Structure 1
Amino acid sequence: MHAKTRLLIAMTAFGTIALFVKNIPLPSAEIALYRAVIAAVSIFLYQSFRGNRLNLAKAKKDSLLLLLSGCAMGFNWIFLFEAYRHTTIAIATLAYYFAPVIVMIVSTFLFKERLTKKQVFCFFMSTAGLILILGTKGTEASANHLLGAGLGLGAAVLYATVILLNKGIKNVSGIDRTLMQFLSAIMTLIPYIAVSRGFHLGQLGMTGLANLLILGIFHTAICYCLFFSSLTEVSGQQVAILSYTDPLVAILTSVLILKEGITTFQVMGGLLILGFTLYNEVQPNKKIAEANETLL
């Protein structure tokens, strides 16, 4: 399978996650835990079948960052799944896709990366889009729109944290890194769930179990493997562009399949976030790049 096809399949599948999460009658923390468990077991079996063994000696060197990133990943899922419960999939997804903007800004302080005029412009326009989404009421009276959008933004902060922490992981890469992060998420979520709401897996019916298995095996284990296996064969710019299949599919799922309402201002806000985040990630030609001098 061509690398772009693998990446496109993964991104399209990620856009349908909410559709399955909504059909799993469990607390968000438990869904996140079981997703990590199923995915970790699946990836471990896949790697074992291929004869690839996890190098624990290398993993020890990055153990703290792997633990922290796994913890952030687990709670990132919790926040996102909770966002789906309080607002529409479209709004939760659009708020979540503010993560690249957060990474861009924080990187200027942590890694002394310089901001260009283009990046500053994209930041303000994306922020304007977020304000439009947060500042307008949802069309469904039963949905706590502001809370849901806020949870989506919280998930974005946690996802940005995962990205930033991964920049410091030097000795473990690809699927092995993901497996270690899943294991770290499991180690974090088990005690959290035990002291909060407890475990309810035994109460899950066949429909919920089927959706959970699809979420863990297909959306997480298989699609993560497709995603990481394509990265070495696809340019960074192509990855950035194809990654926007995820939010587009999520929005179409929300509006066309679930018939969830979305206002004109929310559509405008979403276009600002996705459009200017994508514009920021697309590399300009050399002539434009030379004129785009740094600001900070």
Structure 2
Amino acid sequence: MQLRNAGGSWRMVLAMGLSGTIGLLVVESGLPVLLVVWLRCLLGGLGLAAWVMYSRQWQKPDRSETIWLAVGGLALVLNWLCLFSAYRYSSIAVATVVYHVQPFILLLLAAVLQAEALPLRKLPWLLLALLGVALSSGLTEARGASSWTGILLALGAATLYAVATLAAQRLQRLAPAQIAMLQMLIGVLALAVPAWPLAASAQFSAHAWLAVGVLGLVHTAWMYTLMYSAFQRLSAQAVAGLSFIYPVVALLVDWLWFERRPQPLSALGMVLILGAVWAYRRQGAAAVRSRAR
């Protein structure tokens, strides 16, 4: 079990690191949000389909698995739409902060739906990490109806992401690449009608194609294989703790690529996030060692 969890940990770390650069690709594409999400599903689905065929991982889903695939796929795609749209109503910083309440939503849903005990000893670290995200991105600056629309969209995205996580955990028999492939197919079909007119009228530059190509093949096909494999190996508590790597990387991208130097409070927030994740994982490792004695 310990080796299984270790395999889940490095997969989750790498997946969250890639997640932190998604916003860069979305902005650099210069395309409408709905079109970006549809192309991400299309290209990511094709990449995953090629891998599933090559590795012969296909297994026919049963009725229950089909239902969970549909729930997870719709939740995942709607999560992207809500989060990317939130950037237009509030700042990217505020939307990112609100989105990262999802570990708490995940823990609550896991407790209700999967009867997982709430890790009361670890909740202070999660709260500290959330405080760090807030300090890093300036949540207190959100004002006005437009900003609150963005906040509500980000909250919706956080809830949908938690649902997608729990749905993936119900699909233990299926290969992670197959899960992600089928969910991308659901996204392609669900968004085809509204996305097609946008695709027909959009101006695609080489830069835009490069951005959506990397987003689809690397940040979807490969990343979601890693992430779903991690979901199958880790508890909801572990997934929640490692999810905070995502905002740290996003803040570093904002600093290094867009040259937005963090203010003192932002720097403090990053330190709090890293410290909280380290403490969370250290406490989990100590608990595993204690049970092994």
TM range (shorter): 0.7 to 0.9
Alignment of 1:178-193 (within 5 A): 178-191=180-193, 193=194
- Residue type at the aligned position of 1:33: W
Cα 1:288/1:95, change in 2 over 3 Å? farther
In 1, Cα distance between the equivalents of 2:236 and 2:160?
22
In 2, Cα distance between the equivalents of 1:105 and 1:234?
16
2:108 to 85, 96, 105: 105
**For residues 90-118 of structure 1, what are the alpha-carbon distances to aligned partners after superposition, in whole Å with 9 as ceiling and x for unaligned?**
44334333222211122222222222431
Paired position in structure 2 for 1:25: 30
In 1, Cα distance between the equivalents of 2:106 and 2:10?
27
In 1, Cα distance between the equivalents of 2:289 and 2:84?
41
Instruction: In structure 1, list runs of 5 or more residues that go unmatched.
Output: 291-296
Paired position in structure 2 for 1:154: 156
The answer (yes or no) to whether the contact 2:93–2:138 under 8 Å persists in 1 is: no
**2:40 matched to 1:35?**
yes
Paired position in structure 2 for 1:283: 284
TM-score (normalizing by structure 1): 0.74
Cα distance, 1:229 vs. partner? Answer: 6.7
The answer (yes or no) to whether the contact 1:24–1:209 under 8 Å persists in 2 is: yes
The answer (yes or no) to whether the contact 1:67–1:185 under 8 Å persists in 2 is: no
Q: CA RMSD in A?
A: 4.0
In 1, Cα distance between the equivalents of 2:124 and 2:11?
33
**For residues 236-265 of structure 1, what are the alpha-carbon distances to aligned partners after superposition, in whole Å with 9 as ceiling and x for unaligned?**
999877765432221011133224476655
Paired position in structure 2 for 1:294: none
**For residues 160-207 of structure 1, what are the alpha-carbon distances to aligned partners after superposition, in whole Å with 9 as ceiling and x for unaligned?**
11112223334423111111111122222224x26xx94334423332
Alignment of 1:102-251 (within 5 A): 102-122=105-125, 124-125=127-128, 135-137=139-141, 146-191=148-193, 193=194, 198-203=197-202, 204-226=204-226, 244-251=244-251
- Residue type at the aligned position of 2:23: A
2:81 to 78, 83, 86: 78
Instruction: In structure 2, list runs of 5 or more residues that go unmatched.
Output: 1-6
The answer (yes or no) to whether the contact 1:36–1:183 under 8 Å persists in 2 is: yes
Cα distance, 1:16 vs. partner? Answer: 1.3
The answer (yes or no) to whether the contact 2:168–2:231 under 8 Å persists in 1 is: no
**For residues 19-55 of structure 1, what are the alpha-carbon distances to aligned partners after superposition, in whole Å with 9 as ceiling and x for unaligned?**
11002233212211110110111111122233x1522
Paired position in structure 2 for 1:14: 19
Cα 1:172/1:262, change in 2 over 3 Å? same
- Residue type at the aligned position of 1:153: L
Cα distance, 1:128 vs. partner? Answer: 5.3
In 1, Cα distance between the equivalents of 2:58 and 2:16?
26
Paired position in structure 1 for 2:257: 257
SS, match of residue 213 in structure 2: helix
- Residue type at the aligned position of 1:200: A
Cα 1:167/1:247, change in 2 over 3 Å? same
SS, match of residue 28 in structure 2: coil
Paired position in structure 1 for 2:3: none
Segment of structure 1 superposing worse, 73-82 or 170-179 = 170-179
Paired position in structure 2 for 1:55: 59
TM-score (normalizing by structure 2): 0.75
